């Protein structure tokens, strides 16, 4: 379900009149982070790996190398760290979110430096900071505002309706 939501959000965002709407609003990040928080580290990791690849198969975007592959590492990290820090370590959800965002961006930078090194793209520290923090600032702010309230709302619905909780 989270993979499908991420792919649909990415398709919707593509039509917005922004230069690179996906890089600005980060539509795939929100469902993957939610997956980690709600379903745990294993499903968050798996959803993060699969989402860019499936999106590429469906729409041709993101270009699989080097962009999609570096996104696979980044999103997998978001999903895993969110699930691990929240469900396993029982950290405050805001701390878990901040840890996920920071560690995911570090992984994105390392993966980008390696993968872009095999292509004709130059990926240095300046490009990393611009892509991961400056261009993505609106998406980061959206994540900081909506992720935890969504997690709490989903958990409340699960509790009220006695739905099974995933502990992976």
Structural domains of the chain in order of their starting residue, each with its CATH number? 2-10+29-160 (1.10.1760)
Neighbours of 119 (CB within 10 A): 11
Spatial contact of 146 and 30, defined as CB atoms under 8 Å apart: yes
Cα–Cα dist 144/116, whole Å: 29
pTM (global) more than 0.85: yes
> Could you read off the pLDDT of 139-166 as tens digits, one per residue?
999 999 999 999 999 999 988 887 777 6
Q: What whole-number distance in Å separates Cα of residue 137 and Cα of residue 123?
A: 19
Question: Do 100 and 78 touch, CB atoms closer than 8 A?
Answer: yes
Provide the total of helices (H) and of strands (E) in the chain, helices listed first.
8, 0
Taking residues 12-23, what's their average pLDDT?
87
Q: 69-114 pLDDT, tens per residue?
A: 999 999 999 999 999 999 999 999 999 999 999 999 999 999 988 9
Q: Please, which residues have CB within 8 angstroms of residue 74's CB and are 6 or more apart in sequence?
A: 48, 104, 105, 107, 108, 111
The residue to which tokens 């878990």 are assigned: 96
CA 2 to CA 103: how far, in whole Å? 21
HEC letters along 100-154: HHHHHHHHHHHHHHHHHHCCCCCCCHHHHHHHHHHCCHHHHHHHHHHHHHHHHHH
Banded pLDDT at 127 (limits 50, 70, 90)? confident
Instruction: Please work out, in degrees rounded to the nearest 5, the angle formed at the alpha carbon of residue 130 by the alpha carbons of 12 and 84.
Output: 70
Q: Which burial class, exposed, middle or buried, applies to 54 when counting CB atoms under 10 A from its CB (0-12, 13-18, 19+)? A: middle
């Amino acid at each position: 379900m989270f993979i499908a939501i991420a792919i649909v959000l990415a398709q919707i965002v593509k039509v917005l009149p922004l230069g690179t709407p996906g890089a600005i609003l980060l539509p795939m990040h929100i469902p993957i982070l939610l997956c980690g928080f709600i379903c745990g580290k294993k499903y968050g990791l798996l959803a993060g790996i699969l989402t860019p690849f499936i999106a590429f198969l469906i729409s041709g975007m993101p270009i699989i190398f080097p962009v999609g592959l570096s996104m696979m590492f980044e999103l997998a990290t978001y999903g895993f760290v969110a699930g691990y820090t929240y469900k396993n370590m029982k950290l405050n959800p805001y701390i878990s979110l901040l840890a996920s965002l920071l560690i995911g961006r570090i992984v994105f930078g390392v993966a980008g430096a390696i993968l872009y090194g095999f292509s004709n793209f130059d990926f240095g520290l300046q490009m990393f900071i611009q892509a991961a923090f400056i261009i993505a600032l609106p998406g980061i702010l959206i994540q900081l505002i909506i992720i935890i309230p969504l997690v709490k709302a989903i958990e409340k619905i699960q509790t009220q309706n006695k739905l099974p909780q995933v502990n992976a």
